[in-house]
Structure 1
Amino acid sequence: MPSPTLALLPNPLPPHKRLTFRILLMTLVGLGLTMTAIGYTLLLSWQLEGGGTVINEAGSLRMRSYELGLAMETGHERSDLQHHIERFSQILALVQTGQAGEPSFVPATGPIHEQLLHVQDQWQQRMQVHARTVLEADDPLLRQQALDRYLQDLPDFVGDINLLVAYVEADLTGKTTWLRLCQTALIFLALAASIAVLYLLYLWIVGPVRRMQAGIARMSQNDLDVRLAVESEDEFGQLAQAFNQMADHVQGVHRTLAERVAEKTARLREQNEEVGTLYEITDFLSGAHTIEALCDGFLKRIMQRMQADGGTVRILDERGNLYLTVQDGISDKIIDEERCIKVDDCLCGAATRQGVILVRDFRELDAQRRYRCQEEGALSLGIFQILVREQAIGSFSLHFLQERSIDGDERRLLETLGRHLGAAIENQRLIAREKEFAIAHERNLMAQGLHDSIAQGLNFLNLQVQMLEDSLARENLAEIHEIAPMLRTGVQENYEDVRELLLNFRSRLQDSSLDSEMRKSLDKLQRQTGLQGAITISGDGPPLAPEQQLQVLFILQEALSNIRKHAQAKRVDIAVTNGRDFCLTVRDDGHGFQLDKASAKGADHVGLRIMQERADRLGAQLQIDSRPDEGTCVTIRLMRQERLVA
């Protein structure tokens, strides 16, 4: 089942739906409101500062009006009067326009503006005219009259200035109230904006993040049914959609994974059973059994594994006949009819040529042909080859009373087991042949030993018996007395030879070591002949393998036997060196012989040939050094590469 794939996220959102657009818009709106409020408060502050300047300057105008009247009464110099008049006019102008660093605020309309214009008119048309008349007139009476009119109009003019100041103060009081209201509104606006920002952040960011965290936490607790509500069309809405798609994907994968795990578990269980069956049958086939026992144990285990109702194992012979070796669940009728068949007579024989034959239902095959297993009630059949080096040596079959199909894994297992059975059968055949060869080889050695000793002795006795018969016929008692001891001696020698051969061929190393057996052989020679002997063993090498130890012992016994029969020695020395190489040396002080002449005699010196054959079988080097009257030295050397592990 293919795993579901995650759908791609929707197309990029339009700008007005993005969360960043909302945050930017909220920031701009808040910034605009804040800047408007701050600007309005700055305007009010500037107006208040300008109103204060108007009040100060207007207050200075009242003082300067009185100063100008006092200066004219006291008769100040013209330059001082001129300075007072010009300064008054400047201050009156600055009340309306202001100056650098000192703003002056007079509304363009309204009572303050009208009152200021009225004060300016009174100054220009009345008060300034009286002051300049006092300054410029030469007639003292005229100056006095102008001064009197100035002083007379001064209270009304100062009253107009006071009214202007009152209007400005009233206006400043209202602006101060508005300024406080604006500052209070800014405080509440800041609080409201903070609350609104927190709410919107929770609504747009914190809430979706917490819902996302809760969904992830539930999913981490294996709640794969969790889904998030898509409550917006912004980035978090897209994340919620992606989370839901991911949850669908994980749930689908988990569902398919559970199915896959169950499938893999079942598959692994089947494979374990197959491996267990393969191991069990292979372990059984590796044991020492006869071919019939191998086939019987193999068939029973296969039938149990495959739950078959019957089965057979058939082996081919060299003539191409197929013999029924073992069977189980098969009727006696089939056993009698198919004990020996040709390979073309049935499906079991055909399988040895064409390979595996599987029949799921016999009713689907040719109804004109006879199948004996079908007549016995079998509905399904499986036949597999028994192979050795890709050559069929037989077949085994499984019979099922119910319809049964053999899948690919079971087929591979049965084919593999067929190869193992073939290898086990071939191993048993090779072991039997090896035993047969070993027996034949030992019989050959025994025959050579008999020929070298007993046969020659019997031939000598035969000649002596013929001479005895001739002496008896001639009634020559002297010859009879001479022949009788020779016959006794010959019989005794043959008896000793037979005993020695029997003991040599019955030698085993099951209960003792090679060293002790060599010492026993030397002790036996000393008891038989009375000669002196010694054996020295040195080296710290590992022991030889049992089969190699036995061959070394046989060679030693043969060498000692030759010394007893032919050497007429007085002393024999045996030296064994077991290091990286193994070396055995047997040295005597007997008559010796010429090796080339002994080799030329061939069959007359079977003992030498027996030692050489055993050395060749051992994989060792045999060296014989001998000269007449100088004794004989037999050396056998087994190199380290030829040594077997004990």
Structure 2
Amino acid sequence: MQGEPALPARQQLSIKVVTLLLVSLLAGLTAVGATLYLSWQLEGGAAAINAAGSLRMQTYRLGYTLQLNRERPSAELATQIAQERRQFAATLALLDRGDPARPLYLPSDPAVRARFAAIEQRYAQLLAEPNDVRHDPVRMRVLMDEFVDQINALVLDIEQYNARRTMLMRGSQILLIALAIVGTVTQIYLMFLLVFRPLYRLSGGISRMAEQDYSVRLPVETDDEFGELTRSFNRMADRVADAHGTLEARVQAKTAALNTRNRELALRNDIGAGLNAGLSAEAMCRDFLTRLMQWFGADGGSVRIVDPHSNAAHMVVYEGISDTLAAAEHCLQPGDCLCGASLKDGVAVIHDFRKLPSAPEPYSCEREGFVQVSAFPVRARTRQTGQFNLHFRRSRDITRSERDLLEALGEQLGIALENLRLAAREREIAVYEERNLLAQGLHDSIAQGLSFLNLQVQMLNDSLKRGATAEARDIVPLLKAGVQESYDDVRELLNNFRTRLAEGDLVANMRATIERFRRQTGIAVDFDAVGSGTPLPAEDQLQLLFVLQEALSNVRKHAYATTVRVRFTNERDVTLEIRDDGRGFDAAEMAARAEGHVGLKIMQERASRLSAQLQVESDHGAVLRLTIPFDARRLDERTQERTGKHGDQGIAG
């Protein structure tokens, strides 16, 4: 039937065992069923014997009642005779139909059935006898004796039938015992033959395998599960023997591969240490090339860096090649020669000159005696920043793992070179920013002072030309004051240039700055530092110190104050407040001059670097308040990218 899976061709052990058990069960059930049937027949026959035996008593009782009725006829005796006749007929009917519930039934033996039929017929004849015969006591007694003899013969036939059934039941019980013994012995033998012997054989084979006897093989004697298991054991033994035979070679291969990986890892670590040693680009490339040539046994090599503007690759370092070849290939354009083609495509290539098509002229590397040259890109992430070459005078087979290693090392070098470039660019930007602030500071202080002196010198020259000595004498003190102010500005700038800030030393540096201001100006300064919040990054501390210096410089130049109060708070928010009792300023005039007030502009730029808020107010003097909110402090702690960028440079306001 379609859709049903086909049974396997081999006879399964489970089918054999189940069949054996089912046959044993069927034989046992058959013997037990036969015994039960025979016992049921014997029980029914015994009940039939009792019922047939009761017919004799009923016959004599009926004869006795008839005799009494002849001697003393009465209605009561007539009724009793009719009742006894009905009882006799009921017993005959019971024997004829049987009663399975008791059980009771007349055996189906032909002789018994014929005997019973004769009794029924004789009973019917007795009922049909003439009255003269029934009233003759002697004749009646003879007939009754003959009838009882027939009943006795029926009982004897039933007993003989039961005796034969008893013998059959005993025989079936003996057969059942024999079946039990034979079945048990057969099952034990078959289980030993089908299960235990294959298990012992497999156990012996496994024990020999455990003792390193890899030549053991087991015979396949059956086509069942144990046969398949034996075949699997033999296959396993073949594989184990093969593995054991090649184990030493595989261990050596694995050891060699592990040693190679360890050497590659050591090379990566050494080159990584050299790339992170803070060397210049040339020294970094030279160390990189030297280690590669030693590791791969190269006879020559070079490293080139790509110019991002012209896309040309300039040779930075070289070893093992002549100066002439280095000079000829100092600047390599994409597409030039074999290495230029690799540079253009950005892929690693390995060229064996002996396997290349013949060219009109030999390649320059070939003329130098190299038979193989390889080129690998130097990348910084996805951008190609250069190329390095390895030259061999003898053919060198570079495996796939070695190619992967060289490409990975090229990426390491590319990232290191890119980091150098970014660091240089960062320093350049930092210098530019500081120069811009320096220019603004010079413009706000010295430049304005020199402009004032220039104007006074012109007025002095004009007075002398006109001979106005009185005007000249008035101008000289102004010149002296201007020169002194310019000198003070220069000295303040120099002091700010030399500012250095140790980590966590902001309050001490503030005290030193305030003390220097007090000595130079004679203005009294009160300083309070409160709070124990998280210290600011070093650069933020320096920017905060520069804001304080610029604010004090403005007080010196413009406030005409006698007292200054400085309060620094480092709690959830960071606040720096500088308050003086000077003349203050006009807010409208300050707003109009905001663009031209370089000092205030510089402080605003520094506050922007700190992500801070800068407020300048006039209230019985001037108040400058710089606040770094808590969220801005958390942002600084997350990034930390600006730390140390300007930490060793000072700027005056």
Shared fold per TM-score greater than 0.5: yes
Shift of residue 373 of structure 1?
2.1
Q: Which residue of 2 aligns with 1:245?
A: 231
Q: CA deviation at 1:253?
A: 5.6
- Following superposition, the deviation at residue 365 of structure 1 comes to 1.6
Structure 1 or 2, whichever has the larger Rg, is 1
Q: Which amino acid aligns with 1:330?
A: I
Q: Which residue of 413, 417, 434 corresponds with 1:425?
A: 417
Q: Decide whether aligned partners of structure 1 residues 397 and 437 sit closer, same or farther in structure 2, where only a CA change above 3 A counts.
A: same
**1:527, CA displacement in angstroms?**
1.8
Amino acid at match of 1:376: E
Query: 1:344, 1:350 within 8 Å by CA — same for their partners in 2?
Result: yes
Partner of 1:211: 201
Partner amino acid, structure 1, of 2:357? D
- The AA in structure 1 aligned to 2:11 is L
- Deviation track 1:308-333 (CA, whole Å, cap 9, x = no partner) reads 33221111222343211012332333
Q: Which moved more, 1:303-312 or 1:250-259?
A: 250-259
Q: How many residues align?
A: 524
Spell out, residue by residue over 1:125-156, the C-alpha distance to the aligned partner (whole angstroms, 9 max, x if none). Answer: xxxxxxxxxxxxxxxxxxxxxxxxxxxxxxxx
Question: For structure 1, which segment, 509-518 or 593-602, has the greater mean C-alpha deviation from structure 2 after superposition?
Answer: 593-602
For residue 567 of structure 1, report the CA deviation from its aligned partner. Answer: 0.4
Q: Deviations for 1:367-399, whole angstroms, at most 9, x for unmatched residues? A: 324322222332222212223463333211122
More displaced 10-residue stretch of structure 1: 500-509 or 17-26: 17-26
Q: Which residue of 1 aligns with 2:451?
A: 459
CA distance, structure 2, for counterparts of residue 457 and residue 382 of structure 1: 66
1:491-550 per-residue CA deviation (whole Å, 9 max, x = no partner) reads: 332222111001112212136611111121112222222222222333343111111111
Per the alignment, in what secondary structure is the counterpart of residue 520 of structure 1? helix
Shift of 1:460: 3.2
Report 1:148-297 matches (<5 A): 202-203=192-193, 205-219=195-209, 225-231=215-221, 238-251=224-237, 277-278=267-268, 281-282=271-272, 284-297=274-287
2:24–2:183 contact (8 Å) kept in structure 1: no
**Pairwise CA RMSD of aligned residues?**
5.2
CA distance in 2, matches of 1:356, 1:592: 69
- Residue 636 of structure 1 aligns to a residue whose secondary structure is strand
Q: Does 1:635 align with 2:625?
A: yes
- Specify the alignment match of 1:335 in structure 2: 326
Counterpart selection for 2:290 from 279, 297, 300: 300
Equivalent residue, structure 2, for 1:313? 303
Partner residue in 2 for 1:354: 345
Choose the corresponding residue for 2:384, options 392, 396, 399: 392
1:195-230 C-alpha deviation (Å, 9 max, x unpaired): 888666645543333223333455567765443233
Residue matched to 1:537: 529
Pick from 437, 446, 453 the counterpart of residue 429 of structure 2: 437
TM-score of the pair, normalised by structure 1: 0.65
User: Shift in Å at residue 571 of structure 1?
Assistant: 1.8
CA distance in 2, matches of 1:407, 1:413: 10
Contact 1:352 1:393 (C-alpha < 8 Å) held by counterparts: no
**3-state DSSP class of the match of 1:609?**
helix
Q: Is the 8 A contact 2:217 2:237 kept in 1?
A: no
SS in 1 for 2:616: strand
308-317 vs 541-550, which moves further: 308-317
Rounded to whole Å, the distance in 2 between the matches of 1:344 and 1:202 is: 83
Percent sequence identity over aligned pairs: 43
Cα distance in 2 for residues equivalent to 1:363 and 1:576: 78
Is the CA contact 2:335–2:344 (under 8 Å) kept in the aligned structure 1? Answer: no
Distance in 2 (CA, whole Å) between partners of 1:302 and 1:424 is 16
- Aligned partners of 1:278, 1:269: CA distance in 2, in Å? 14
Mapped to 2, the partners of 1:409 and 1:354 lie a distance apart of 21
Contact 1:386 1:393 in 2 (8 A): yes
Residues 301-355 of structure 1: CA deviation (Å, up to 9, x unaligned): 4444544332211112223432110123323332232223433433233222112
Q: Does 1:365 align with 2:363?
A: no
Alpha carbons 1:380, 1:405 under 8 Å: kept: no
Q: Distance in 1 between matches of 2:589 and 2:442?
A: 22
Shift of 1:455: 2.3
Q: What's the TM-score once normalised by structure 2's chain length?
A: 0.65
Change (3 A) 1:275 1:638: farther
Deviates more, 1:281-290 or 1:371-380: 281-290
Paired letter, 2:553: S
Q: Is the 8 A contact 1:384 1:415 kept in 2?
A: yes
Contact 1:228 1:243 in 2 (8 A): no
Q: Do the aligned residues in 1 keep the contact of 2:304 with 2:386 (CA within 8 Å)?
A: yes
| Deviation readout 1:454-512 (Å, 9 max, x if unpaired) | 22223333444455556666777655654544444333322221110011122121366
Query: Among residues 387, 403, 418, which one is paired with 1:411 in the alignment?
Result: 403
Describe the SS at the equivalent of 2:597.
helix
In 1, the alpha carbon distance for the partners of 2:595 and 2:158 equals: 150
Q: The residue matched to 1:574 in structure 2 has which SS?
A: strand
Distance 1:390 1:14 in 2: 64
Question: Is 1:503–2:495 an aligned residue pair?
Answer: yes
Contact 1:356 1:382 in 2 (8 A): no
Gaps of 5+ in 1: 1-7, 33-82, 105-186
Q: Tell me the distance in 2 between the aligned counterparts of 1:225 and 1:333.
A: 68
Q: Distance in 1 between matches of 2:579 and 2:491?
A: 24
1:559 Cα deviation (Å)?
0.7
CA distance in 1, matches of 2:510, 2:499: 11
The 3 A distance-change label for structure 1 pair 310 and 244 is farther
Does structure 1 residue 527 correspond to structure 2 residue 519?
yes
| Structure 1 Cα separation of the partners of residues 597 and 179 of structure 2 | 133
Provide the C-alpha distance between the structure 1 equivalents of 2:17 and 2:217, rounded to a whole number of angstroms: 22
Pick closer, same or farther for the CA change 1:196–1:517 going to 2, 3 Å.
Answer: closer
Structure 1 Cα separation of the partners of residues 615 and 211 of structure 2: 85
Residue 402 of structure 1 corresponds to 394
8 Å Cα contact 1:310-1:398 kept in structure 2? yes
CA distance in 1 between counterparts of 2:12 and 2:385 reads: 80
CA–CA distance in 2 between the matches of 1:588 and 1:447?
27
Q: Which residue is 1:168 aligned to? A: none
Residues 624, 635 of structure 1: 8 Å contact kept: yes
Aligned AA (1:445): L
| Cα gap change, 1:549 to 1:340, in 2 (>3 Å) | same
Q: 1:243 offset after TM fit, Å?
A: 2.5
Query: Is the CA contact (8 Å cut-off) linking 2:334 and 2:341 kept in structure 1?
Result: yes
- Do residues 12 (structure 1) and 10 (structure 2) align? yes
CA distance in 2, matches of 1:25, 1:466: 139
Alignment CA distance shift 1:238-1:518 (3 Å): same
Kindly state the Cα deviation for residue 273 of structure 1 after the two structures are TM-superposed: 5.6
What is aligned with 2:563?
571
In 1, are the aligned partners of 2:20 and 2:187 still within 8 Å (CA)? no
Q: For 2:493 and 2:591, locate their aligned partners in 1 and report how far apart those are by CA, in whole Å.
A: 23
Residues 348, 376 of structure 2: 8 Å contact kept: yes
